[in-house]
Amino acid sequence: MSESAPVPQLLVGLGNPGPQYAGTRHNAGFWLADELARQHGGQFRPDAKYHGETCRIALAGQDLWLLKPMTFMNRSGQAVAALARFHRIPPAAILVAHDDLDLPPGTVRLKQAGGHGGHNGLRDLITHLGSNEFARVRLGIGHPGDSREVLDYVLRRPPRTEQTVIEQAILDALRELPRLLAGQWQRAVHALHGRRVEPPLSPAPDGSTAKP
């Protein structure tokens, strides 16, 4: 990832619509988009032509579109492609925030382009955009340890201790967003990938919390 990487014009948070999914691990991308809008006084509004909820904010002297697809995770690409094509935003100028099973809770990684890694939202984006050149903010949610349990795992709420470290990862990622908008990808990568992640606290037998 070079310092001359394309500047994001659109940030997409991936998740599933509806209150029953709002607090689930698969909606970590929605959490990041919501927090970014909140920090900058933006408000998401339904937009039928983009099959999602959109918001536009000013950050670091630039306009940035925010999008939360309302098409469910495995059809996310329909919404992203509609907005990107209308506003002539190339795939390389799209930044996608999503949950990642391969990273421990609280870990955050930046990635420029690449495959979908089994993530259905990313898979559909690649199909609809006809490109895998979009950048990603990978928000670690951990893995249940058994591939047969993945679906139930991502559609469940994390324990409060895990949610706390995921929320901290989101705040840390958003602090680096101005650097991304300035094209300073390597500096943002260095800051985020080098951050210390405290392991989530686990319940002790007496009901208190203790580190694993």
The answer to the question of residue 28 being in a domain is yes
Q: Quote the pLDDT of residue 202.
A: 61
Q: Quote the pLDDT of residue 5.
A: 74
HSE-CB for 6 with a 13 A CA cutoff: 18
The answer to the question of residue 71 being in a domain is yes
Flag whether pLDDT at 212 surpasses 90.
no
The answer to the question of residue 29 being in a domain is yes
d(CA 68, CA 87): 16
Q: Find the CATH number of the domain harbouring 150.
A: 3.40.50.1470
Query: Sheet of 45-47: strands edge to edge?
Result: 45-47, 52-59, 62-69, 10-13, 94-100, 135-140, 108-112
**Catalytic residue list:** 26
Q: How many domains does the chain have?
A: 1
Expressed as residue numbers, the domain containing 194 is: 10-210
Report yes or no: 92 and 9 within 8 Å, Cβ to Cβ: no
pTM exceeds cut of 0.85: yes
Residue-wise pLDDT for 124-148, tens only, equals: 999 999 999 999 999 999 999 998 9
Provide the 3-class DSSP secondary structure of residue 188. helix
% the chain with pLDDT above 70? 92
The answer to the question of residue 158 being in a domain is yes
